[in-house]
């Protein structure tokens, strides 16, 4: 399999934040930002929020059931919290998504899908996994593995059932991402899928950039 050479880099300080295993912290640092459901010109509508979650659930519900668990995605649309987290309890693989994150100006529909996939990746991403304070390996895949699985497995699986060429034709694609995707993949559809996942990553990186008040813009490097 060809390896995608694009790496999304956030220039400057990049301290990776960890979703913990108990739902006490999320994908981004604890913050006081609250984006009300009443805000105008939000990045995503309520319908888009639910539709994206449903697409991921439709693909992975059976996968989770095969592991003897139940997939539960909690849709907190009215909650303005800008975060998301994963949790396991009572035989449930839980993913908690918040409307505040979906309404943030940096979050695109595909960027939001990547967050859903990242949180699901804590459940399904495999090793390496997080350890508790005693060094015991626990259930949650670590952040890097959740990132990898979320992008290379989940997002690609969910997007593979869509007409990516047509979707990308209506998107603004970063020139470097377009160039590298075309150089890496031969088929038009694979190139388009590469562009979508790359731009989803840029959306998520831009969210971190904004929350940390960093002035250096997010950019692609190869």
pLDDT at 17: 40
Total tally of structural domains belonging to the chain: 1
Q: What is the mean pLDDT of the chain?
A: 89
Distance of CA 28 to the CA centre of its chain: 11
Asked whether residue 189 is assigned to any structural domain, the reply reads no
pLDDT digits (tens, 9 = 90+) for 42-72: 989 999 999 999 999 999 999 999 999 999 9
Asked whether residue 220 is assigned to any structural domain, the reply reads no
Asked whether residue 222 is assigned to any structural domain, the reply reads no
Average pLDDT over residues 118-141: 93
pLDDT digits (tens, 9 = 90+) for 136-174: 889 999 999 999 999 999 999 999 999 999 999 999 999
pLDDT of residue 83 exceeding 50: yes
Q: Which domain holds residue 143?
A: 16-161
Vertex 152 angle, CA 151 and 156, to 5°: 85
């Amino acid at each position: 399999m060809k390896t995608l050479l694009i790496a999304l880099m956030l220039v400057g300080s990049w301290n990776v934040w960890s979703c913990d295993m108990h739902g006490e912290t999320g994908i981004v640092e604890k913050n006081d930002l609250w984006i009300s459901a009443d805000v105008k010109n939000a990045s995503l509508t309520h319908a888009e929020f639910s539709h994206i979650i449903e697409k991921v659930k439709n693909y992975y519900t059976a996968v989770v059931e095969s592991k003897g668990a139940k997939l539960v995605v909690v849709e907190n649309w009215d909650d303005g919290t800008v975060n998301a987290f994963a949790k396991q309890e009572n035989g449930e693989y839980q993913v908690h998504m918040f409307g505040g994150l979906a309404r943030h100006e940096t979050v695109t529909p595909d960027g939001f899908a990547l967050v859903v996939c990242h949180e699901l990746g804590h459940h399904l991403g495999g090793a390496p996994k997080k350890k508790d304070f005693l060094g015991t390996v626990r259930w949650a895949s670590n952040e890097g593995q959740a990132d990898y699985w979320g992008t290379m497995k989940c997002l690609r699986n969910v997007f593979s059932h869509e007409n990516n060429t047509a979707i990308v034709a209506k998107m603004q694609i970063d020139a470097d991402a377009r160039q590298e995707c075309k150089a890496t993949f031969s088929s038009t559809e694979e190139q388009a899928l590469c562009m979508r996942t790359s731009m989803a990553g840029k959306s998520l990186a831009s969210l971190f950039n904004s929350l940390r008040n960093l002035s250096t813009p997010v950019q692609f490097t190869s």
